[in-house]
Structure 1
Amino acid sequence: MGSHHKHHKSVINRLARIEGHVRSIKEMASNHRDCGDLLIQIAAARSALDNVGKLILKDHLRECVVEGVESGNKDKVLADLEEALNQFIR
């Protein structure tokens, strides 16, 4: 993901927050916190990852896909997008 993407800084900041969140979940597990609390925090971290993935996908669609189609690489761009979607949505 290049720096020309509109949401680049936001993606980096969100990933840093998610990293901290996962670290705190690890601490909770180390301190034998309630399983329900751990599962709630894991669900929150998963949701945050999904949201940052959507932001990356939005940038990819607006920048890379549009540029690729305009430059005549439509088939490759669409194949790459389909592969990315298959990896992201399982």
Structure 2
Amino acid sequence: MTDEHNHEHQYRKDIINRLARVEGHLRSVKEMAISGRQCPDILLQIAAVQKALDGAAKLLLKDHLENCVVDAVHHGNEKNIIEELNAAIDSYIR
């Protein structure tokens, strides 16, 4: 995968903010488990973390399509970017 991005990422700040909230939420879920909270309560919060992660992933995919893929097409590099996207999707959705 390429490490350089010579184009703008419109949603990067929002993605980072979402991931920071997920990180905080996950720490809270861990504390719930440590303190012996009820299993259904913990499972509900784990589901909320998963949904939040899915939301961040969806926004990241949107950002990638709107910016990276468009930039690659403009620069004649669509084959590589599509291969990278397919590999990422295969890793994310199993």
Map Cα deviations across residues 3-52 of structure 1 (whole Å, 9 max, x no partner).
82111111111111101100000100001000000000000000100110
Q: 1:70 aligns with which of 47, 70, 74?
A: 74
Match of 2:37 among 30, 33, 36: 33
**Which blocks of at least 5 consecutive residues in structure 2 are unaligned?**
none
After superposition, the C-alpha distances for 1:36-73 in whole angstroms (9 at most, x for unaligned) are: 00000000000100110010010000111111112111
Between the aligned partners of 1:53 and 1:74, the Cα distance in structure 2 is: 21
Question: TM-score when scaled to structure 2?
Answer: 0.89
- 5+ residue gaps, structure 1, are none
Give SS of 2:36's match. coil
Q: TM-score, normalised by structure 1?
A: 0.92
CA distance in structure 2 between the aligned counterparts of 1:5 and 1:74, rounded to whole angstroms:
17
Q: Who is 1:52 aligned against?
A: 56
* Pairs aligned (count): 90
**Amino acid across the alignment from 1:65:** V
CA RMSD of aligned residues (A): 1.6
**Greater relative contact order: 1 or 2 (C-alpha under 8 angstroms, separation 6 or more)?**
2
Deviation at 1:78?
Answer: 1.0
Percent identical pairs in the alignment equals 50
